[in-house]
Chains A and B, each alone.
Chain A
Amino acid sequence: MPLLNVNNLRVDLPVEAGMLHAVRGIDFHVERGEMLCLVGESGCGKSMTSLALMGLLPRKARLSADRLEFDGTDLTTLSERRRSDLRGARMAMIFQEPMTALNPAYTLGNQLCEGLIRHRGVSRREARERAIYLLGRVGISAAKDRLDQYPHQLSGGLRQRVMIAMALMCEPDLIIADEPTTALDVTIQAQILRLLRELQREFGTAVIFITHDLGVVARIADRVAVMYAGEVIESAPTPALYAAPGHPYTRGLLSCIPTPGRTPPGSRLQAIPGVVPSLVGDVEGCAFRNRCPQAQPTCERTPPLMSLPGDHRARCHYADRPVPAPRQPETMS
């Protein structure tokens, strides 16, 4: 049984113009100890998905799902109280903005320890010992002194390390990391990624890693789910996805990444033209067809989720067969 099983998850947000369908019926699962990457551009619903899993959706948002199970527990029927027993204890979250994710009014020690004290009822001293151990594990020197410091006294990279340590405090089964490296410098990004991967292997924690950067995915993910316009349009083990992407959107994303050695210096990178369709109201047919270089009349119909060899699925009419008459994309310089 997978650790997390999500079936037909929907999140709707009432906005001024109507109902925004931020997540439009997505399916995925996470096995124990694996790292799943959710990839997509801003507004594709990946953050809403993570908040839905944590039970931290905005008050006005509405959630529905055929199945939303964590370790056999149905999350949709769980009371807020029981839900908060899971949060921080068995599923933890790391946020995008380390600069604002910590409370400026309390010391790091205080904020690291409170979750453990709340969930495990340990003494403050025991909690501090674990905090010191974990701060050391995430590569923070002089961990003991850091406990009495305030967030503003730390750099962004250090704060994100603290956030990681905080997520690990109760040894959760699942960590959701929502673009944890986006706000950081490139060199720090690499360090944090490596750290996350190491810790994930060491502690056997399952991780849902959310990113817009397909370049990051290749380095760390076991499996990838690509989201577009509130749907998962392709999911596959990482090597399979890179070897044979089944959805034109994924192919577009991959061609945007310069590969050292293969992309000639000075050559132009690809970009996907067009804009994401509005998610207010219903989306008919394939959501990507207005940007798709090989769109066909068939694409007016909603594409099924096609199964490809090796646990590989793609939501495209032509995922498993050649496109009838490929249209030549115009080039513009």
Chain B
Amino acid sequence: MASTPPLLSVRGLRIEFGTDQGPATAVDDLSFDLRAGEVLGIVGESGSGKSVTALSIMGLLPTPPGRVVAGEILFEDSDLLKKSRTDMRKIRGGAISMIFQEPMTSLNPVFTIGDQLTEAVRWHERVGMAAARGRAIEMLHKVGISSPERRLEDYPHQLSGGMRQRVMIAMALSCGPKLLLADEPTTALDVTIQAQILDLLRQLQEEFRMAVIIITHNLGVVAEFADRVLVMYAGRTVEHASVEGVFDRPSHPYTEGLLSSIPDIEADVLRLTAIPGTLPNPHELPPGCRFQPRCTYARDECAAGPPPLVPVAQSHLAACIRHTGYRRGAAAPPAMAGVR
């Protein structure tokens, strides 16, 4: 597994946003690898830096105010951050494409579905209108839209939210991307539609054999879809492991909190456990571990410095002082709270 070179390798990525109160760090020293055909879930609350990470991979970070201040994003061994605007444009919608959270507003209201679907193919592959139209019909078919020929003439306002998200997916996949970034693709949809869209994405991922980064705040989505999970908190990775690893042996108090806030129908307890407190203000980040003000295990040492991301098991990284404490042999590990 480790012998295959990664398709995407993010190394030490640091993104800042210029604000009136000075620069605010949105993403801090983020690193991860993604192999071809692999599905990575990035999980965290709003404002934890998930979407910003995806936008920076696409080269769509709104600059200013956003700015990548350090790190590299290697895609097929070349740094996307060093590419020219023209080269980046050829990659966007081609080898890497993205779908967004809001299907209601992500399609242009004044152009037909057909127009918007054929556009990417015409620009990336320089094919004629007829060929592009054929591809659009094929893609609409693949995403489960009935009578696609007729739908091409429709405007976005004539479609439901679920249909629009299917169109967005068709659009993103029309040039056969190697990497798909899905930013909360189901959050804005009805629950029943969410499951359909997720099934569709999984099915298409297998069919196209593409790598997917799925960004979500919902661990349930990750459990269904992803191979690996990266949990972000206030711009930093707090835990990075396989889906099984995270669910069976959550090794960061924040992950534990996320897991216990998933509603469990079979549980006897009816109350949902919410993590107390809110994400820190990026201008007033707590010293040391950023989760420490909300953490039930917090000790004085937590404020001393940022806890390093250390292996706690095979391919399982976590950034909590409890693990480094254990590795140093200073104290016995506190019992892992079994959440499940």
Answer yes or no: do A and B interact: no
Instruction: Give the interface of A toward B (CB within 8 A).
Output: none
Instruction: Give the interface of B toward A (CB within 8 A).
Output: none
